[in-house]
A = this chain, B = another copy of it.
């Protein structure tokens, strides 16, 4: 991981469809070098995946979920990852155990999701925050 890698990642993070030739021009190297590096970064797992970020609805939110002590959080995470409108499920350290990042049509849809979570026996409590604004960092 050197400065060139970081520059390439930065460009892809902003637009993963930027052609290798154009990246090469921007970072002042050849297309082949960019391609080799992207391949290496991908196989090394630095690039986890090429993906899209979406906004299907008008609301993004994070729902923090506390589960009972004896519950397998991995199983709960798998379950919740299958729910409509859930973008990510994080298992986290700290007070809560699982965080859902959701993209929903409206507040009603978010509320339904919260209800669905609360209805599970394994769930002790939830805490929801609406994401009012998302800003892309310059990392890495």
State the A residues within 8 Å of B (CB): 1, 9, 12-17, 45-56, 62, 74, 77-78, 80-94, 96, 99, 101-103, 127-140
Contact = CB atoms under 8 A, between A and B. Distances in A.
A128 B45 CA distance: 25
Interface centre among A14, A52, A130, A134 (most CB of B within 10 A): A52
B55 A135 contact: no
A91 to B, nearest CB: 4
B52 A49 contact: yes
A16 to B, nearest CB: 4
B127 A94 contact: yes
B130 A92 contact: yes
A90 B133 contact: yes
A103 to B, nearest CB: 6
Given A48-B54, A89-B135, A94-B130, 13 more contacts: A16-B50, A16-B51, A49-B53, A51-B52, A56-B140, A62-B90, A81-B136, A81-B137, A86-B137, A88-B134, A92-B129, A94-B129, A102-B139
Contacts of A48: 52-55
